[in-house]
Amino acid sequence: MITTGQIIRCKAAVAWEAGKPLVMEEVEVAPPQKHEVRIKILFTSLCHTDVYFWEAKGQTPLFPRIFGHEAGGVVESVGESVTDLAPGDHVLPIFTGECGDCPHCHSEESNMCDLLRINTERGVMIHDGESRFSIDGKPIYHFVGTSTFSEYTVIHSGQVAKINPDAPLDKVCIVSCGLSTGLGATLNVAKPKKGQSVAIFGLGAAGLAAAEGARIAGASRIIGVDLNSKRFDEAKKFGVTEFVNPRDHDKPVQQVIAEMTDGGVDRSVECTGSVQAMIQAFECVHDGWGVAVLVGVPSKDDAFKTDPMNFLNERTLKGTFFGNYKPKTDIPGLVEKYMNKELEIEKFITHTVPFSEINKAFDYMLKGKGIRCIITMGA
């Protein structure tokens, strides 16, 4: 390609400061260096994590920055030592990676790569500590190694999953974060058996994906727990059979669920980030065999407190990261499940906006409208 090895000038939605609307700018995108690839982004989506760090709540602000990490695109060029990807490959950028060499990558039980696991504070590439984005010679920082709110981006090859070129990128782009996180939490970690009951705390995108996992696993009862009762109708599409709003009860929600299920649910998945919901999700599972899985990220000063007898009574508490999926190894298989009609994706997508109107996607999420908004880069 004629752009190989050259600087590319393209549009990017730049966050200049916390909480302010993104500004469409012309940025320069440098060629990929060792172990890096440059990708033409065709579709991207907005995730709550983008909004959280854009608002700069509870962490060190880093601006100006290009956010975005749920996306699909095509490889434009590859850097030195990249052998598993080539120009023209259809790919999904992933906010975490798989180097293939560390103990975590060699373990069948972990996806927490030592080299490429998520780092929200790093705004540069790990190869040389430099940004590949600039405006008038001044660097614009990366976000979680992906920065997909740009028509072109540079990503470490270990964070790029090569997928079936026939898969529609405007649909499967959401597999690269929220859908996989929730789905895997249920299927890979909670592992409900057919006919068991599952409680899902938080019915945002990750929680609905967790519910979808419970539906696929054959759960007989899927109880959705959320403070917003308006979410129940949408949740029914994902297999949720019952709904509990903690505000509607004068007793702890774990007690409500235990009474509904003759002692507790078989499995629970927490997708809110609220430490109170985490405690409730653990304490609502049945003694003897109940398993609770934590997905949400708590605030840094939160503390999880429960009676130790809950553990001695054989309840199990687990955590998960990205649904325990290895990015390069497992994500292509999820795309194949969609292609084989074993996984429904369309129902997660509720809005579509052109790239020029990306701030609308932020408005939708901040107002709690919809599940996922697809941003079409060429529009």
Domains assigned to the chain: 8-174+345-376 (3.90.180.10), 182-320 (3.40.50.720)
pLDDT digit string (tens) for 29-60?
Answer: 999 999 999 999 999 999 999 999 999 876 78
Prediction pTM value: 0.95
Q: At what angle do helices 48-55 and 358-366 cross, to 10 degrees?
A: 90
pLDDT digit string (tens) for 193-236?
Answer: 999 999 999 999 999 999 999 999 999 999 999 999 999 999 99
Is 48 designated active site? yes
**Residue 185: pLDDT over 90:** yes
**Residue 1: pLDDT over 70:** no
Strand runs labelled E in 167-326: 197-201, 221-225, 242-244, 267-270, 291-294, 316-319
57-61, 130-134, 362-366: least confident range? 57-61
pLDDT digit string (tens) for 236-249?
Answer: 999 999 999 999 99
Is 70 designated active site? yes
d(CA 200, CA 226): 9
pLDDT digit string (tens) for 72-81?
Answer: 999 999 999 9
Residue 12 has φ and ψ, to the nearest 5°, of: -145, 150
Is 105 designated active site? yes
Furthest-apart CA atoms within the chain: distance in Å: 67
Is 117 designated active site? yes
pLDDT digit string (tens) for 109-121?
Answer: 999 999 999 999 9
pLDDT computed for residue 366 by the predictor? 93
Residue 233 has φ and ψ, to the nearest 5°, of: -60, -45
Is 271 designated active site? no
Q: What is the mean pLDDT of the chain?
A: 96
Catalytic residue among 36, 105, 270, 315: 105
pLDDT computed for residue 379 by the predictor? 63
> In a 3-state reduction of DSSP, which class is residue 31?
coil
**Residue 61: pLDDT over 90:** no
Is 146 designated active site? no
d(CA 37, CA 78): 4
Catalytic residue among 49, 146, 261, 320: 49
Catalytic residue among 44, 98, 113, 231: 113
Catalytic residue among 70, 76, 151, 270: 70
Q: Mean per-residue pLDDT for 250-261?
A: 98
Return the exposure string of 25-56: e unless at least 16 CB atoms fall within 10 Å of the residue's CB, then b.
Answer: bebbbbbbbebbbbbbbbbbbbbbbbbebbeb
Catalytic residue among 69, 104, 132, 286: 69
